[in-house]
Amino acid sequence: MRREGMVRFWRWPERRSDLSKRWQPVAAALPLLGLLALAPPAAAQGSGSQDPGATVVLIGYLARQEDPRTPLSFLEPVATDEGLQGARLALADNNTTGVFLKQSYRLVEQVLPQDGDISAGVKALADEGVRFVVADLPADALLAAADRPEAKPMVLFNARATDDALRNGQCRANILHTAPSRRMLADALAQYLAWKKWPRWSLMTGRDPGNALYAEAVRRAAKRFGGRIVDEKSWTFDTGNRRTDTGVTTIQSDIPLATQGPDYDVLVVADEAGDFGDYLDGRTWYPRPVAGTQGLTATAWSRVNEQWGGTQLQSRFEKLAGRWMTPRDYAAWLAVRSVGEAAARTGATGFDSLTGYLHSPDFELAGFKGEALSFRAWDGQMRQPILIAGPRMLVSVSPQEGFLHPVTPLDTLGDDAPESKCRLNR
């Protein structure tokens, strides 16, 4: 039985599997690759069989329990552990390399009740000696955690909140962001639409506050990359239950009415909660593609990514969690792997040494997306390619060819240094 709000140490379960399917290439361990081929699988390395003389690095995981999101389709599993499973997989990956470097990693989990006190969760992690924390929290809870006195000597990895304010006026020196911002996602989509020469967009926005923020990011992206929003509408219909006898009929009649207006090249939808966006494709007034939060989506991770070793990461995650990896899982995986990569590269395990390296221009992380990932100095955001994904296939990856930058094309996504209102004193 799960004990809510209690500190738990995660250790990889004792089991063995085919090494050829579980081996994770780690750039930091290149001199050890020959040994990796002979090493026991990650499952065993995360258990008590580790070298008792290894230096232990604690990584915290802070979240609140949530009601599971009801999926629109039976094909989509109900996930009650998004984020946490990504952190657990990265822990095993860290220990795969750490066994050769006399380093051991443990995950200290603080999964609070839905109304649990964030300050109590931060204090519990601090009492355990945790200095690195994966924060799987919405924006308000993340700021509450980061502003606690116990969190000042910590590094919190934002593995969930996409709010652009967190990278601007509300930025914090003790937060690094492995989740992309809404502006990064919108810019990635806008670059692809520009490459396709689809400049006329119709924008449909849902009722939730997050949808308005996403729509704002889309408007900004249109100005940056030559898009033109020819029409804007708000979704005001009550979507019927498509599993009822009349549900499909109601949807089929409502959506054409909702999408009438000036002609456009693509319908861009802002529906982060998935209340209506999935119903649009194939039912719009004009026969046009749907993009945004549904349809053709810009995302940090998608189960359709099979390139750059992505299939191998997906396979290992599915064996662990019994489902496919979500963007929240991926952001948590990046956070835990960032600590492991810093330790492997520097050979150090001290907080100051690892933090200094994470913030340095020398830090790079392999993220299964074709380019090395790093953190921006001005706002703590992780630079990363953004996948442009369809429901079953990877369509493209942004930044798109031809969008140049004096430092790296990755900085064409989201707030560049001159644009950011974040003023961190490192």
Distance between CA atoms of 386 and 27, rounded to whole angstroms? 21
Phi (first) and psi of residue 307, to 5 degrees: -95, 165
Of 104, 145, 144, 109, which Cα lies nearest the Cα of 128? 109
CB 352 within 8 A of CB 294: no
CB 119 within 8 A of CB 127: no
| Structure token pair of residue 137 | 């929290």
| Structure token pair of residue 77 | 């599993």
Name, in order, each residue with C-beta under 8 angstroms of 200's C-beta and a sequence gap of 6 or more: 227, 228, 230, 263, 264, 265, 266
Of 132, 55, 130, 131, which Cα lies nearest the Cα of 100? 55
The position carrying tokens 């001290």 is: 350
Mean pLDDT by 10 residues, the chain (426 residues): 43 37 38 34 40 89 88 72 97 95 97 96 98 98 98 98 97 98 98 98 96 98 98 83 54 88 97 92 96 98 95 96 96 98 96 97 97 96 98 96 94 96 72
Of 351, 330, 343, which Cα lies nearest the Cα of 97? 343
Distance between CA atoms of 228 and 5, rounded to whole angstroms? 48
Dihedral angle at the C-alpha atoms of 130, 354, 387, 310, nearest 10 degrees? Answer: -90
CB 305 within 8 A of CB 387: yes
The residue type found at 309 is G
How does DSSP assign 389-407, residue by residue?
A: E-SSSEEEEESPTT---SS
Q: What is the pLDDT of residue 31?
A: 37
Phi (first) and psi of residue 384, to 5 degrees: -165, 145
Q: What is the pLDDT of residue 194?
A: 98
Of 89, 84, 85, 183, which Cα lies nearest the Cα of 136? 84
Q: What is the pLDDT of residue 423?
A: 80
Q: Which domains does the chain have, with CATH numbers?
A: 7-180+303-384 (3.40.50.2300), 183-299 (3.40.50.2300)
Of 322, 333, 325, which Cα lies nearest the Cα of 389? 325
Order of strands across the sheet with 266-270? 228-234, 200-205, 266-270, 290-292, 296-299, 386-389, 394-398
Integer CA distances (angstroms), 369 to 43, 328, 388, 416, in order: 25, 16, 12, 21
Neighbours of 263 (CB within 10 A): 11
Q: What is the pLDDT of residue 247?
A: 53
Distance between CA atoms of 9 and 47, rounded to whole angstroms? 11
Distance between CA atoms of 195 and 217, rounded to whole angstroms? 19
- pTM here? 0.87
Residue 116, Cα to own-chain centre: how many angstroms?
23
Residue 58, Cα to own-chain centre: how many angstroms?
21
Start-end of H helices in 149-301: 182-195, 209-225, 247-258
Q: What is the pLDDT of residue 65?
A: 94
Q: What is the pLDDT of residue 359?
A: 96
Distance between CA atoms of 378 and 171, rounded to whole angstroms? 10
Distance between CA atoms of 63 and 8, rounded to whole angstroms? 13
